[in-house]
Amino acid sequence: MAADIGELERIAADPLIGDGAEPLRALAEGLRSTMEDQFDGMAAQSAVFPWWEARCRDVQQAIRQS
């Protein structure tokens, strides 16, 4: 999913998109925010499984860097 968000952002940056860029940017940002929130919640609930919290943090970092 992080790759898909990055692809939306790349498409929105293409000058040929014109007026369609802003809705694509908004969609990408909404998806990124939703994914970050979801993984924040999962990481917070994973105190019993430290490896799961670490995995959630890794995914969050990948989302932010995409």
pLDDT for the residue numbered 46:
65
pLDDT for the residue numbered 50:
72
Q: What does the pLDDT look like over 15-60, one tens digit per residue? A: 888 888 888 888 888 888 888 777 777 766 666 667 777 777 788 7
Considering only CA atoms, give the Rg of the chain.
14
pTM: 0.56
One-letter identity of residue 5: I
Number of structural domains (the chain) is 1
pLDDT for the residue numbered 1:
60
Structure tokens at 61: 């970092």
Do residues 21 and 12 lie in contact, with contact meaning Cβ atoms separated by under 8 Å?
Answer: yes
Do residues 10 and 66 lie in contact, with contact meaning Cβ atoms separated by under 8 Å?
Answer: no
pLDDT for the residue numbered 65:
80
The parent domain of residue 28 ranges over 2-65
